[in-house]
Copies of this chain bind each other. A is one copy, B any other.
Amino acid sequence: MKDVARLAGVTIGTVSRYINGKSVKEKNRLCIEEAIQKTEFKLNHIARGLKTNMTKTIGVVVPDITSPYSGLLVETIDKYLYQQGYSIIICNTWGSEELEAKNIDLLLQRQIDGLILYPSGQKMSSLTYIPCDRIPVVVVDIGIAELQCDQVLLDNASAIYEAGVWLKSLNHRKIGIINGTLDYFTSGERFEGYKRFHEDYSMKLDKNIIHNIGYSQSSGYEAIQYMLQLENPPTAVIACNYDISVGVVNAINDIKIQVPEKLSLIGFDDLEIFSIIRPRMSMIAQPVVKMGEQAAKLLLKRIDKDFSGFPEIHRLKTELIIRETTRSI
């Protein structure tokens, strides 16, 4: 900038004003523009940040960016924020609360203007290091009830409830579930939906076909195998997340049970890649794009000092997409 100023024959202050779109005398404007070309001047965002206390950078903390679900989420967030002139720094936590804390600290050092957090852990200890009081924070997917901050969550209970209702309408009475562990936020809620559905329709819970064992492919793979060799196997099964769904599909492939003739199946997370399997899978679809956009939008609102409605807790509806793995019995 100094160089530009010298070359243009004005002071550094004038150049700064030009850069920031304030009015400058026509003649000076031309000189400055020419000087910028010649010196290949690039504004130093860092220095500006030091002065303005705004880095136009948002921290995004997720457990695993390679999972198709969070990949899509992050991309949506990035897209929205990019349009508004922000960049994002992504941190992976690999599901470790310790790394999460460390990453957040790092982001804070980098003077981020706001944080979008997809929490890894469930423990209350999280509360101490989530910087809700320093900068705007939006929590995504995993609700933290005790936390005074904006949250964008799924309506997890309804998701499973509706799937249950649909299966019941197809005359299924023994509906199995493969789910994450109950101490995890989303799986806890999803199981609540399952229970409520059984209560509302006066159906008994059968613990042989209830597997709250973990969000992983192996969970799906093993649980479905177990259930199908029961004396009284379920006629339908709901897989409660992406990994479990993949595991279930793998098991189905291996044991070669006919779907939907012998077993109806509903998966979770309607990602495009599932299109490669037959029969086409009936799915509970998350509004991932909407979630990302809403989180980003909300964060920007707070950054712009609009604190109306704080804290906002959004609950987004899933959509039940019926394809070929569910049928009436």
Contact = CB atoms under 8 A, between A and B. Distances in A.
Q: Name A's interface SS.
A: helix
A323 to B, nearest CB: 13
Copies of the chain in the assembly: 2
Interface string A211-248: 00000000000000000000000000000000000100
B90 A45 contact: no
Interface in A72-108: 72, 74-75, 78-79, 82, 87-92, 105-106, 108
Contacts of A124: none
Interface residues of A, number: 43
A47 B50 contact: yes
A91 B75 CA distance: 10
A250 B275 contact: yes
Contacts of A64: 75
Contacts of A110: 45-46, 57, 87
A27 interface: no
A274 B275 CA distance: 11
Nearest to A64: B75
A282 interface: no
Contacts of A74: 65
A89 B91 contact: no
A246 B46 CA distance: 43
Contacts of A13: none
B43 A46 contact: no
A111 interface: yes
B89 A87 contact: yes
B65 A75 contact: yes
B273 A253 contact: no
Contact of A277 (B46, B65, B276): B276
Contact of A276 (B43, B111, B253): B253
A22 interface: no
A109 B47 CA distance: 10
A9 interface: no
A242 B34 CA distance: 47
A308 interface: no
Contacts of A66: 68, 71-72, 75
A318 interface: no
A116 interface: no
A113 to B, nearest CB: 12
A253 B275 CA distance: 10
A249 interface: yes
Nearest to A67: B71
A207 interface: no
10 contacts: A45-B110, A46-B111, A65-B71, A66-B68, A68-B68, A68-B71, A71-B71, A79-B92, A82-B91, A277-B277
Q: Which 8 A-B pairs have the closest CB atoms?
A: A45-B109, A249-B276, A45-B110, A253-B278, A46-B111, A66-B71, A66-B75, A71-B71
Given A45-B110, A45-B111, A65-B74, 17 more contacts: A42-B109, A44-B50, A46-B55, A46-B110, A46-B111, A65-B65, A65-B75, A66-B68, A66-B72, A66-B75, A71-B71, A75-B92, A78-B90, A246-B273, A246-B275, A250-B275, A276-B276
